[in-house]
Amino acid sequence: MDSAGCFSLLVERHVARGNADREALVEHGTLGRRQLTYGQLYHATCAMARWLELTTRPGCTLALVGSATLEFAVAWLSAMRAGRPVLLAPSRQAEAYYPALWEKVAPERVLSDRTSSVGEPLPDVSHWLAEPAPAPAQEGSAEALLGDDRPALMLMTSGSTGGAKICVHSHRAFAWFEQHVTRALWGIRPDDRVLAASSPHFSFGLQGLHVPLSVGATAVMVPEWTRHLDILEVAHAERVTALLAVPTLYHILWRRAAETPVRPKSLRLSFAAGEHLPGLVRERWEAFSGSRMLNSIGTTETFLPYLSEDAHTSGDMLKRVGAFQYQARPHAMEGESAQEVVALSVESPAMMLGYLSQGALAPRSGGLSTGDLFAPEGEGFRFVSREGDRIKLSGCWVSPHELEDFLLTQPGVSSTAAIALKTEEGLTRLRAFIVLKPDVQASGTEAWEAQVRQRMELTLRPRALRPDRIVFVESLPSTASGKIKRSELLKAVMGGS
């Protein structure tokens, strides 16, 4: 059933191979524990796809608002199975958010799960299971899917560096991901149980669904988590073997772990993406969880990570991903050797088809400049910084995350962020924002800062990394996926708030 597109990869072929009774989806939410086997997922998805084919125009755009529920997953797969490109949108946004989004997308219908009141409410998944059984599952052609460039879904960029854009992705992107990342680098197996902490409307969160489904594994979903410890407790209860989360969340989970006796004892792999991974966060999480942490770097535009660590080999080198072609441009700066740092551009058939605006696709042309800087290291790379983050201070090229890494090692630090800004004198300096643990905050910040400043004098090099000010805050602005929004910090400073 080649026309089924990526649905044949994610669901149908597993049923055709006799794995209908294998657990596909598990949801832990306000309705308790619910689950679907691959056979049930195939049945429900085919039934809803038939309904969409009868009630919407061929090829029309749909919007799906919600979180990681069974209903959301079935609706996402059904839209793609029916050939209706679908935008995945977050729930619980301000009232004015959605009309502005619909202007860009022009969806024929807006559907929503129980986590949102926007659009037409989706029925319980049992509704589709009561429909007549679908035709027998077929294996489908893997080669045909690798070339299937029909639009499948739309994802929004996180907006951590500005306004969100809408990326249109093809059916073939899922097949390329499975071939070049899921198996080749990440080593995900049919017996794995995978949990993503981010919502599936983010590319990294959606990996928590399509990565396990592509190999016949189990996706574990927590749609309505309100406490960070919910992630740990579900990971423990469901014997999760692979966790996907941004580094900030891993740091928070490690910090809050003392509040619960549960441990993710079955965890073997922890995937980090979305922001810089400090070495201390990796070290602490691996010691706590007993899992290996794998870092990867990609964008919503690339769909796949374009660099990733390899589960099959030791070490933390970022390797090239077989789906991409690379161009490395020397990023020479005054006082630096041209060989020290390179900027990468990438190209792949698996990348987005283009951006969407006012319901029309603006096709992508050529490769994508990643905006990231790397130091070549053997056959791979070591991340240096975002291209726009690298600044020259007192004659030295530095990145704000170097200061952040140092501050995270200091006693009492809960979370931190650093930004570069212009002082009143017109000088460029780093400024640090720190959330202290409550007991340290209560005892006063002056003595704490004096001790940290003393440690900076002794160990933080180059001197240019020392901030002009340390600002103590109650929280740091972040996206729904947990990434710190440094642009908002800069706006607050520039606005004097």
User: In angstroms, rounded to a whole number, what is the distance separating the alpha carbons of residues 193 and 212?
Assistant: 7
For domain 390-494, give its CATH number from 3.90.1150.10, 3.40.190.10, 3.40.50.720, 3.30.300.30.
3.30.300.30
Q: How far is CA 76 from the centre of its chain?
A: 17
Query: Which stretches does DSSP call E strand in 140-224?
Result: 151-156, 166-170, 193-196, 218-221
Q: Where in the chain is the domain with CATH 3.40.50.12780?
A: 2-383
Contacts of 163 (CB under 8 A, 6+ apart): none
User: In angstroms, rounded to a whole number, what is the distance separating the alpha carbons of residues 168 and 252?
Assistant: 32
Instruction: Tell me whether the omega of the peptide bond preceding residue 121 falls within 30 degrees of 0, making it cis.
Output: no
Exposed/middle/buried for residue 304 (C-beta within 10 Å: 0-12, 13-18, 19+): buried
Query: What are φ and ψ of residue 97, in 5° steps?
Result: -65, -45
Q: Which amino acid is it at 150?
A: R
Q: Where in the chain is the domain with CATH 3.30.300.30?
A: 390-494
Angle at 415 between CA 409 and CA 419, to 5 degrees: 95
pLDDT for residue 331 = 78
pLDDT for residue 4 = 85
Show pLDDT as tens, one digit a residue, over the chain (497 residues).
346 899 999 999 999 999 999 999 999 999 999 999 999 999 999 999 999 999 999 999 999 999 999 999 999 999 999 999 999 999 988 888 999 999 999 999 999 999 999 999 999 999 999 999 999 999 888 888 999 999 999 999 875 445 679 999 999 999 999 999 999 999 999 999 999 999 999 999 999 999 999 999 999 999 988 888 999 999 999 999 999 999 989 988 998 888 888 899 999 999 999 888 999 999 999 999 999 999 999 999 999 999 999 999 999 999 999 999 999 988 765 555 444 889 999 999 999 999 998 888 999 988 999 989 999 988 899 998 887 777 777 667 788 988 999 999 999 998 899 998 887 767 788 999 999 988 888 888 998 999 999 999 999 988 889 999 999 999 998 876 667 888 888 888 776 64
User: In angstroms, rounded to a whole number, what is the distance separating the alpha carbons of residues 8 and 41?
Assistant: 12
User: In angstroms, rounded to a whole number, what is the distance separating the alpha carbons of residues 252 and 269?
Assistant: 18
Q: The whole model's pTM is what?
A: 0.86
CATH superfamily of 2-383: ANL, N-terminal domain (3.40.50.12780)
User: In angstroms, rounded to a whole number, what is the distance separating the alpha carbons of residues 113 and 359?
Assistant: 23
